[in-house]
Structure 1
Amino acid sequence: MTKDSAAKKFLFSIDPMGAVRTTRRQQYVDERAIRYRDYKLIIAHSALDQMRGTAKLTTALALKIVFIMPIPASWSKKKRWDALDKPHTSTPDLDNLIKGCTDALNKVVWLDDKQIVSVEATKVYGFEPRIELYVTELRGQTG
């Protein structure tokens, strides 16, 4: 597989949140499930704004995702500066962060998340929590 074009960049100014596992009933009453639903809606609406009327992607996709995690306010100023851009080894787990992001963008940026054939993801500390997503369409591959 070869890359077709430059990656499309999406920026989501939101504290990254991992996927929440709930039952059908819990999704309407569980506070964390409601927060997760709202989180996905915010990402989806932001992606639609950033796509500026372009069509959903239909080819095989490679993703690069950088989760910039908030630095705890309770940490000393020195510890906060030392943590900047360092690996984030606390919860949420990286796989849950990826799932939360890709679930939010399913049927928004791409037709179906089965089109995703490659994911490179990292989570680091930063002063401005956000998600940076780079989507590359792969030549000659269909979703």
Structure 2
Amino acid sequence: MIKFVIPLKPVPAVRMTQKSMYANKYAKRYLQYKKQVAWIAKASMKTNPIDGDVGVKLTHYAHGNRADIDNLFKGVTDALNKVVYNDDRQVKHMESSIIKCGKEEERTEVEVYRLEAVKQ
């Protein structure tokens, strides 16, 4: 299991075109967030990206955030591509929650685990 904390305000994924990714302020913010998340994840990795099916559990601590939970999930899992796992198509189980908190406590707690390690 890989566990780490993203000590940043959760940022949802946004729809964008090739043109808008350079002009839209939300797209720019999202792309910068993904880059930061990838670096944080890379620093937490002790091995190569996981092969096979994985589960991902995210706990988002957000202050006044009205983002859709699925967009918050996508923002993190896209950033973990080629870092924690080879492709987000490997994610076969997902769990995500949003907990309200103070502005200074905003973060996302991440757990990624191999599914074959979970006995059902």
Normalising by structure 2, report the TM-score: 0.90
Relative contact order, CA 8 A, sep 6+: which one is greater?
Answer: 1
Question: Could you tell me how far apart the structure 1 residues matched to 2:48 and 2:107 are?
Answer: 24
SS in 1 for 2:95: strand
Question: Could you tell me how far apart the structure 2 residues matched to 1:138 and 1:23 are?
Answer: 34
Structure 1 residue runs of 4 or more that deviate by more than 3 Å after TM superposition: none
SS in 2 for 1:139: helix
**Percent identity over the alignment?**
36
State whether structure 2 residue 113 is matched by structure 1 residue 136: yes
Question: Could you tell me how far apart the structure 2 residues matched to 1:63 and 1:36 are?
Answer: 20
Amino acid at match of 2:108: I
Long gaps (5+) in structure 1: 1-6, 73-89
Higher-Rg member (1/2): 1
State whether structure 2 residue 26 is matched by structure 1 residue 11: no
1:42-121 mapped onto 2 (5 Å cutoff): 42-52=36-46, 54-70=47-63, 72=64, 91-121=66-96
Question: Could you tell me how far apart the structure 2 residues matched to 1:8 and 1:34 are?
Answer: 28
SS in 1 for 2:57: strand
Normalising by structure 1, report the TM-score: 0.76
SS in 1 for 2:116: strand
**How far does residue 61 in structure 1 lie from its aligned partner after superposition?**
0.4
Is the 8 Å Cα contact of residues 53 and 114 (structure 2) preserved in structure 1? yes
Question: Could you tell me how far apart the structure 2 residues matched to 1:43 and 1:107 are?
Answer: 12
**How far does residue 31 in structure 1 lie from its aligned partner after superposition?**
1.3
CA RMSD of aligned residues (A): 1.4
